[in-house]
């Protein structure tokens, strides 16, 4: 038989699990945004390097 205390504890655990899942999702999104920014920042340098390489 599930007591009220057990129900309360299960609810708290479920909320904690949902919160952690949300934090993980946010962390992944931030990592993707950081990686995209790095990729974009690297494009002009690559273009210049390719241009210079073609001129030399």
User: What is the predicted pLDDT for the residue at 12?
Assistant: 92
Per-residue pLDDT of the chain (56 residues; tens, 9 = 90+): 778 898 999 999 999 999 999 999 999 988 988 888 888 777 777 767 777 777 76
Task: List for the chain the helix, strand, coil content (%; round to 5).
Answer: 95, 0, 5
Q: Give dist(CA 14, CA 1) in Å, integer.
A: 19
- How much is the pTM? 0.49
Per-domain residue ranges for the chain? 21-56
Q: Give dist(CA 52, CA 44) in Å, integer.
A: 12
């Amino acid at each position: 038989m599930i007591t009220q205390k057990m129900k309360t504890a299960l609810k708290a655990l479920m909320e904690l699990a949902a919160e952690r899942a949300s934090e993980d999702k946010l962390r992944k999104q931030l990592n993707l945004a950081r990686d995209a920014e790095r990729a974009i920042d690297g494009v002009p340098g690559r273009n210049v390097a390719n241009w210079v390489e073609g001129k030399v």
